[in-house]
Structure 1
Amino acid sequence: MDPTPVELKKLEGENALLIGWDDGQRRRYTYGELRKACPCVTCRNEKKQAAADPVKLPILTPLEAQPVQVDKMSLAGNYAYRITFSDGHNTGLFTFEHLRELGEVVE
């Protein structure tokens, strides 16, 4: 059976969160890393378009130009989190499997 989260907390002053897994592993995730790794269709399409035209510069709204924060995380079934970011984005489901591929292991 795949590992599941048993601990979730914001790391104050770090713009990051910590997830503890039931196999004892703990991983640190920056908010920016999570936002860039959003698996939703819209984000995947934006990444494809950026790769197809790498010299095209995106136009950002003032909100998008701010450092991203995680405003909310909620369970989606028993396999994923839905993350709401400070830029309003909340359509990606971050499966536990995907989250284990991200972040860095901490002691």
Structure 2
Amino acid sequence: MSSWPTEIRLSKDRRTLHVTFDDGASHALSAELLRVESPSAEVQGHGPTQKKTIPGKRDVEIIKVEPVGHYAVKLTFDDMHDTGIFPWDYLRELGETGEAKIQAYLDALAAQGLSREPARRR
């Protein structure tokens, strides 16, 4: 690993995780990006062709950030997804490629006729 996080801070509205690295790089990662790009098998599947497009996460919030050893954090989202462990390198990658990943996500939603909007309760 080329850099180490010096600060991980959740915004007051719980929709942005701020990560600063020891080389000065700093990223604001949206909860939506983190949820739809979770490294969990539930999202990524068990192979490169199995990734799932998760709709309805525009307003998702992070309700818990827990350290995992000295290499990662486990995030719990308000939809109760909590199986993704986010290593430092992956957080860095999301910070550097997040805009492209969100655009790919939006394109996948459109192609599948899905929406970012949460399902309405009746």
TM range (shorter): 0.7 to 0.9
**One-letter amino acid of the counterpart of residue 5, structure 2:** P
Task: Normalising by structure 2, report the TM-score.
Answer: 0.65
TM-score norm. by structure 1 comes to 0.73
Alignment of 1:87-102 (within 5 A): 87-102=79-94
CA root-mean-square deviation:
2.9
Q: Following superposition of structure 1 onto structure 2, how do residues 1-107 of structure 1 map, counting pairs within 5 Å?
A: 1-12=1-12, 15-45=15-45, 48=50, 50=52, 67-103=59-95
Of Structure 1 and Structure 2, the greater strand share is in 1
Residue deviations 1:35-81, cap 9 Å, x none?
01101112112982758xxxxxx8x8xxx667110101111011111
Q: 1:66 to 1:99 in 2, by over 3 A?
A: closer
Unpaired segments ≥5 residues, structure 1: 52-57
Shift of 1:8: 1.7
Identity over aligned residues, as a percent? 29
For the residue of structure 2 that corresponds to 1:48, the secondary structure is coil
Secondary structure of 1:27's aligned partner: strand
For structure 2, which runs of at least 5 residues remain unmatched after alignment?
98-122
Count of residue pairs brought into register by the alignment: 95
> Which 10-residue stretch deviates more, 92-101 or 65-74?
65-74
Question: Does the 8 Å contact 2:14/2:31 carry over to 1?
Answer: no
Name segments (4+ residues, structure 1) moved above 6 Å. Answer: none
